């Protein structure tokens, strides 16, 4: 009888104790975890994803759902969290954000903002967009570094052998509200979105997320992202540093990792046009006109008509290729006509013959993700809807893009602050990206005037040159040879090795390991 009483007492404690508490995880879906006891939080367990359509069997758990960041306005951010595939309790937590837009810098200067809305519409109509208003689930998690890649035009998932959750616990957030599944019940808020708004919501999100998953509150923490996240990430890191002065709000931020990041408007623009010229996208005459007439440091460089027309010419040339990946095919899935349809079929056939592991690149991934996340069974599995009242998911929200009200012209002052605080800062560039090209990033980092601690040199992966590397006092910069804007899509194995080096704080493989 005493044994029965003791068992009942333990059961009562498990149901009433404040989280976290130990519960057994059941089911063959989770492989090795099916026979182990795992530390989880009662609130977080409500978001456990158990029946994701098309998901391959995995040996880790993942969670998806909402965190309300403002109760009064009904503002909530959607997240998807993947535990590390092995030893999750021993590995850091990494937040991934996506960000920059196809023609964001056209309206970066306040003086030219409204006058250029029509120009932005004209340019972005035929440009792939990945910026304020775009989804980290649709890009980072689904196409780049998550464990599941959408395949077969949205009908299934395949395992990504180079997923970053092999090295860390990975958290993806659709930010700001209006992006992906994230929303606000106060629609007027969509008109006031900007950098500061986004940083504050992301910060609030983190602390509320830690209430769901308290075992991660004291974990080593990093923030990573690409493109316009080049502004999101430093701004959030600065906010964390400032708030860490209050011990009760402390987050153990160790560093930031940025890929092809928008950094400083003037340098980004100069790099964009110089790169287009140096890679034979535009003529000598167009480049000369830009060089002679454009002052990208001015409040309104577009007031000079010669400058404006010459930059239009650059963007016009980029409309016929993929600005994010100069040397790969464009997606022609929506095109019509027998010739284009034949090309489409040929491309898809070739694409399937070149699997991801061999470096194959499918430019139609955006469409596959859109199909998948608008499925009723997928939304139900991700705790987005009941499977009946669906939410319309898109990979980018162009209304947010066009109405963005606050964009810092440069985050280089924040870089200096983060360097002074001793954070690890690594920046990388795919060298076939024309949108935020390697030249833009080199111009921006050069303007910091940091002392060089290790000179420019190649770094290696599997005995081949992965790119080039330079280490400064407080910052590391690397290129990825032959990679476009979203580097992990093009160089998945190299990217994972680079990410692992970043977490260890060790330089990528040096030449002598070739």
Q: Which residues are catalytic?
A: 227, 433, 485
Two tokens, residue 285: 């005459």
Nearest CA-CA partner of 177 in 157, 197, 152, 204: 197
The Cα 150–Cα 168 span in angstroms is 21
Two tokens, residue 421: 């605080």
The Cα 488–Cα 448 span in angstroms is 27
Two tokens, residue 401: 């893009």
CA distances from 183 to 68, 73, 76, 90, 434 (A): 10, 10, 6, 33, 32
CB 138 within 8 A of CB 268: no
Is residue 32 classed exposed, middle or buried when 0-12, 13-18 and 19+ CB atoms within 10 A define those classes?
exposed
Strands (E), 118-272: 148-151, 156-159, 169-174, 183-184, 221-226, 253-259
The set of residues, in sequence order, having a beta carbon less than 8 Å from that of 228 and lying 6+ positions away, is 98, 99, 100, 101, 104, 130, 131, 132, 134, 262
CA distances from 211 to 81, 96, 255 (A): 14, 19, 22
Strands (E), 313-423: none
The set of residues, in sequence order, having a beta carbon less than 8 Å from that of 354 and lying 6+ positions away, is 360, 361
Two tokens, residue 198: 């986004």
CB 130 within 8 A of CB 101: yes
CB 334 within 8 A of CB 368: no
CB 273 within 8 A of CB 323: no
Taking CA 52 as the corner, what is the angle to CA 49 and CA 53, rounded to the nearest 5 degrees?
175
Question: Dihedral angle at the C-alpha atoms of 478, 481, 486, 489, nearest 10 degrees?
Answer: -130
- Give the H/E segment covering residue 128: none
């Amino acid at each position: 009888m005493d044994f029965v009483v003791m068992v009942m007492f333990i059961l009562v404690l498990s149901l009433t104790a404040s989280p976290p508490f130990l519960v057994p995880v059941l089911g063959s879906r989770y492989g090795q975890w099916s026979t182990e006891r795992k530390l989880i939080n009662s609130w977080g367990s409500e978001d456990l994803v158990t029946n994701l359509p098309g998901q391959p069997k995995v040996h880790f758990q993942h969670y998806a759902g909402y965190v309300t960041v403002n109760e009064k306005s009904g503002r909530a951010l959607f997240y998807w969290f993947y535990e590390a595939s092995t030893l999750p309790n021993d590995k850091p937590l990494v937040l991934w954000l996506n960000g920059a837009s196809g023609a964001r810098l056209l309206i970066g200067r306040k003086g030219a903002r409204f006058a250029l809305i029509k120009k932005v519409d004209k340019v972005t109509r035929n440009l792939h967009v990945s910026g304020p208003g775009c989804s980290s689930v649709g890009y980072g998690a689904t196409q780049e570094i998550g464990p599941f890649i959408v395949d077969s035009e949205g009908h299934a998932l395949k395992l990504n052998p180079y997923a970053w959750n092999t090295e860390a616990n990975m958290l993806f957030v659709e930010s700001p509200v209006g992006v992906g599944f994230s929303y606000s019940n106060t629609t007027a808020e969509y008109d006031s979105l900007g950098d500061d708004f986004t940083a504050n919501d992301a910060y609030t999100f983190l602390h509320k997320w830690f209430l769901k998953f308290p075992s991660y509150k004291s974990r080593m923490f990093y923030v990573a992202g690409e493109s316009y996240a080049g502004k999101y990430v430093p701004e959030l890191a600065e906010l964390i540093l400032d708030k860490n002065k209050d011990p009760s709000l402390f987050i153990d931020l160790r560093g930031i990792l940025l890929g092809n990041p928008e950094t400083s408007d003037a340098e980004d623009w100069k790099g964009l046009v110089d790169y287009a010229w140096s890679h034979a996208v535009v003529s000598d005459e167009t480049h000369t006109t830009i060089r002679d007439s454009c002052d990208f440091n001015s409040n309104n460089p577009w007031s000079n008509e010669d400058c404006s027309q010459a930059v239009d010419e650059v963007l016009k040339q980029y409309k016929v290729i993929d600005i994010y990946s100069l040397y790969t095919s464009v997606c022609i899935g929506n095109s019509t006509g027998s010739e284009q349809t034949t090309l489409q079929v040929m491309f898809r056939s070739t694409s399937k013959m070149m699997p991801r592991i061999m470096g194959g690149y499918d430019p139609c991934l955006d469409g596959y993700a859109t199909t998948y996340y608008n499925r009723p069974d997928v939304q139900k599995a991700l705790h987005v809807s009941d499977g009946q009242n669906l939410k319309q998911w898109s990979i980018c929200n162009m209304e947010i893009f066009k109405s963005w009200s606050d964009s810092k012209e440069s985050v280089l002052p924040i870089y200096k602050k983060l360097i002074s605080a001793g954070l690890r800062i690594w920046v990388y560039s795919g060298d076939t990206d024309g949108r935020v090209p390697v030249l833009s990033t080199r111009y921006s980092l050069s303007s910091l005037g940091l002392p060089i601690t290790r000179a420019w040199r190649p770094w290696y992966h599997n005995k081949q040159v992965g790119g080039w590397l330079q280490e400064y006092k407080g910052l590391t910069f690397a290129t990825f040879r032959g990679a476009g804007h979203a580097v992990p899509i093009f160089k998945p194995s190299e990217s994972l090795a680079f990410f692992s080096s970043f977490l260890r704080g060790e330089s990528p493989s040096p030449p002598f390991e070739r």
